[in-house]
Amino acid sequence: MKKLALLTVLVSSCFVLSSHQGALSYNYTFYVLDTLGGNFSTANDINNLNQVVGSSYTSYGTHAFLWENGTMHDLGTLGGIESWAAGINSRGQVVGHSETSAGNIRGFIWENGVMTELSTLPGGTESRASAINGLGQIVGRANTSTGEWHAVLWDNNNIIDLGTLGGVFSQANDINNLGQIVGTSKNSNGLDRAFLWENGTMTDLGAFGGNISWAMCINYSGIIGGRSRTDKRDAFGRITTPACIWQDGTMIELPLIQKNWAWALDINKWGQVVGYDGGMEAFMWWNGEMHHLENEVYSFGRDPWHANGINAAGTIVGFCMDRYGHERGYILWPVVPIPNPPITAEVDIEPNTLNLSSKGKWITCYIQLPENFDVADIFYCAILIGDVEIKADRLWIDEVKQYATAKLCREDVQDLLDPGEVELTVVGELLDETTFEGTATISVIDKGGK
């Protein structure tokens, strides 16, 4: 029997560091990213496949990059000199913005080696993409015909103006797999306010006593991270603007490490929050405990540095200063990552005897999940052959019987198979970032002599 499955082994290490803060105890492998030829790089986001995106100097400008398995790939531009990558989803789709050949700045999506320009608002000329969720929905901002910048959603190649809280500016910073969007907008008084947009409505999230707030990230559970100005002063008489989270309708202030302000920039499915403070000291906060990441870079260089992104395993990305004063992207690999293994699905594939010479159009997968998981949460399904994922073209959900039916292009699958008994691996993802995997064995024949 031939078994076709994906095995990805990623080994990268420089040195292992330990840090202890109260009840927390973490060990990381600190990996410093290279550059695309210049002396600068920054890592902005990481997905659950450990693919990292950011920007790096080249010999002729700044370019967006995708880093995976130890290699940094230049994603190019939309025809101009520079580009910047902001986010990546579990499918490896990258978003950001790039200069065009005409000199405008436009949002982009990069997928399978191709960078595609995102549309602008009617009468507008520029856009920027900030984040993308697992369903391929993209958020960011775009200018209007009057020159105002508005938060926008790109969904199925359509751009949607999310409006403002009454002011002249808004921008969307993140979107979860439920389509909930967070960002910042000017209100009618000209103050920056954090917002949550869902089901067509933009809601002011409120603020501490200083009446100003910003929302930067949101996870599947609806926990939002950002910052807000207070009416309190520190020991030096400065107004404080700490990082904060919004959870179940309550604003929670995160402890300041140094200085009088901080940003929460990303949050993973478990509620781990990363960011940095006014002393340019990165942090990871979880369950009421603040974990200082500052010591992790002392063996490499010096402050300042940021923590920009975190995935479900607790792997953190950002940038720090090297010993020569250059900004360099980094990855902090947890020595003991948070377990997030795929659940096992029951899979049946039809036809169970596949004739390579057949002219049939579809291969059908029937999928059942373990108890306590809902097939209605499946949004992605694919057959894995070697290192190639063949995505389902159609997906139907039967919530009553609790099974999903996926249709895949028969020709795409057949082209990768040889006659014999073959075990196919079916993979997929749920809205809460849980992945599933199942196998089914089929007979492959070739009566027509492929």
| Sign of CA pseudo-dihedral 208, 211, 212, 214 | positive
What is residue 15's predicted lDDT score, i.e. its pLDDT?
35
Among the residue ranges 73-87, 114-128, 175-189, 284-298, the one predicted with the least confidence is 284-298
- Angstrom distance (rounded) from CA 433 to CA 48: 9
Percent helix, percent strand, percent coil in the chain, to nearest 5: 5, 55, 40
Tokens (6 digits) for 419: 């006659």
Model confidence band, residue 413 (pLDDT cutoffs 50, 70, 90): very high
pLDDT digits (tens, 9 = 90+) for 36-58: 998 999 999 999 999 999 999 99
Pick from 137, 103, 135, 140: nearest CA to 120: 140
User: Where is pLDDT greater, at 20 or 360?
Assistant: 360
Rounded to 5°, angle at Cα 242 from 206 and 214: 40
Span 7-17, mean pLDDT?
Answer: 31
Tokens (6 digits) for 60: 């002729």
User: Where is pLDDT greater, at 199 or 30?
Assistant: 199
Q: What percent of the chain has pLDDT over 70?
A: 91
First-to-last alpha carbon distance for the chain, in angstroms, is 20
Is the pLDDT assigned to residue 22 strictly greater than 50?
no
Rounded to 5°, angle at Cα 305 from 59 and 269: 105
What is residue 341's predicted lDDT score, i.e. its pLDDT?
92
pLDDT digits (tens, 9 = 90+) for 220-237: 999 999 999 999 998 889
CA distances from 199 to 76, 218, 238, 324 (A): 35, 16, 39, 49
What is residue 25's predicted lDDT score, i.e. its pLDDT?
45
Tokens (6 digits) for 145: 């015909």
pTM of this structure? 0.90
Strand order in the sheet with 301-310: 15-21, 24-32, 327-334, 316-322, 301-310
Is the pLDDT assigned to residue 2 strictly greater than 50?
no
- Do 406 and 367 meet the contact criterion of CB atoms below 8 Å apart? yes
- Angstrom distance (rounded) from CA 178 to CA 133: 9
**CA atoms within a 13 Å half-sphere pointing along the CA-CB vector of 40:** 12
Report which residue type is found at 443.
S
- Angstrom distance (rounded) from CA 68 to CA 86: 16
CA distances from 263 to 160, 242, 274, 280, 283 (A): 28, 7, 8, 10, 10
Model confidence band, residue 382 (pLDDT cutoffs 50, 70, 90): very high
What is residue 300's predicted lDDT score, i.e. its pLDDT?
55
- Angstrom distance (rounded) from CA 407 to CA 260: 55
Rounded to 5°, angle at Cα 273 from 271 and 276: 175
- Angstrom distance (rounded) from CA 100 to CA 94: 17
Q: Strands, DSSP E only, in 61-137?
A: 62-68, 71-74, 79-88, 94-100, 105-111, 114-117, 127-132
**CA atoms within a 13 Å half-sphere pointing along the CA-CB vector of 126:** 15
Span 100-118, mean pLDDT?
Answer: 97
- Do 422 and 413 meet the contact criterion of CB atoms below 8 Å apart? no
pLDDT digits (tens, 9 = 90+) for 256-303: 988 899 999 999 999 999 999 987 889 999 999 998 887 655 555 555
- Phi/psi class of residue 314: alpha, beta or left (left: φ > 0; alpha: ψ in -120 to 50)? left
Residue 391: in which H helix or E strand, if any? strand 388-391
- Do 1 and 19 meet the contact criterion of CB atoms below 8 Å apart? no
Span 402-413, mean pLDDT?
Answer: 95
What domains can be seen in the chain, in order of their start residue?
10-334 (2.130.10.150), 343-445 (2.60.40.10)
Torsion of CA 387, 314, 272, 258, to 10 degrees: -130
